[in-house]
Amino acid sequence: MTVTNDLVSYEDALASYDPVMGLEVHVELGTKTKMFCGCSTELGAEPNSQACPTCLGMPGALPVVNAIGVESAIKIGLALHCEIAEWCRFARKNYFYPDMPKNFQTSQYDEPIAFNGYLDVQLDDGEVFRVEIERAHMEEDTGKSLHVGGATGRIHGASHSLLDYNRAGIPLIEIVTKPIEGAGERAPEVAKAYVAELRELIKALGVSEARMEQGQMRCDVNLSLRPHGREKFGTRSETKNVNSLRSVERAARFEIQRHAAVLNDGGTIIQETRHFHEDTGSTTSGRVKEEAEDYRYFPEPDLVPVAPSREWVEELRAGLPEQPLARRNRLREEWGVNAHDMQSMLNAGAIDLIVATIAAGADAASARKWWMGELARAANESGVALDSLAITPEQVARVAALVVEGSLNDKLARQVIDGVVKGEGTPDEVVEKRGLKVVSDEGALTAAVDEAIAGNPGVADKIRGGKVAAVGALVGAVMKATRGQADAARVKELILEKLGVEG
For 411-424, what is each residue's pLDDT tens digit? 889 999 999 999 99
Does residue 368 lie within any of the structural domains?
A: yes
Q: How far apart are CA 443 and CA 374, in angstroms?
A: 32
Contact 144, 167 (CB under 8 A): yes
Residues 67 and 184 in one domain: yes
Contact 90, 106 (CB under 8 A): yes
The pLDDT value recorded for residue 3 is 39
Residues 460 and 378 in one domain: no
Does residue 322 lie within any of the structural domains?
A: no
Residues 306 and 223 in one domain: yes
Residues 6+ apart with CB under 8 A from 256: 10, 13, 14, 17, 19, 187, 188, 223, 225
Residues 117 and 216 in one domain: yes
**CATH number for the domain that contains residue 489:** 1.10.10
Residues 248 and 133 in one domain: yes
Q: How far apart are CA 492 and CA 469, in angstroms?
A: 11
The residue among 434, 458, 487 that closes a domain is: 434
Does residue 321 lie within any of the structural domains?
A: no
Q: How far apart are CA 457 and CA 462, in angstroms?
A: 9
Contact 45, 161 (CB under 8 A): no
Nearest one of 190, 187, 191 to 226, comparing CA atoms: 187
Does residue 378 lie within any of the structural domains?
A: yes
Residues 98 and 210 in one domain: yes
Where in the sequence is the domain holding 395, given as residue range(s)? 335-434
Nearest one of 212, 213, 232, 215 to 224, comparing CA atoms: 232
Residues 149 and 221 in one domain: yes
Residues 267 and 177 in one domain: yes
Ranges of residues in the chain whose predicted pLDDT is under 50: 1-4
Residues 97 and 120 in one domain: yes
The residue among 386, 412, 434 that closes a domain is: 434
Cα 457 → chain centroid: 56
Alpha helices in 319-372 (DSSP H): 324-335, 339-348, 351-359, 364-370
Q: Label the pairing between strands 17-28 and 104-107.
A: unpaired
Residues 362 and 305 in one domain: no
Q: How far apart are CA 17 and CA 6, in angstroms?
A: 17
Does residue 118 lie within any of the structural domains?
A: yes
Does residue 325 lie within any of the structural domains?
A: no
Residues 6+ apart with CB under 8 A from 440: 406, 487
Does residue 324 lie within any of the structural domains?
A: no
Instruction: Please give the C-alpha separations between residue 85 and each of 82, 94, 111, 412, in angstroms, as whole numbers.
Output: 9, 24, 8, 58
Does residue 372 lie within any of the structural domains?
A: yes
* Radius of gyration of the chain, Cα coordinates, nearest whole angstrom: 29
Residues 6+ apart with CB under 8 A from 76: 27, 114, 136, 173, 175, 201, 202, 205, 207
In sequence order, the β-bridge partners of residue 130 are: 120
The residue among 434, 455, 484 that closes a domain is: 434
Residues 196 and 262 in one domain: yes
Residues 424 and 461 in one domain: no
Structural domain count of the chain: 3
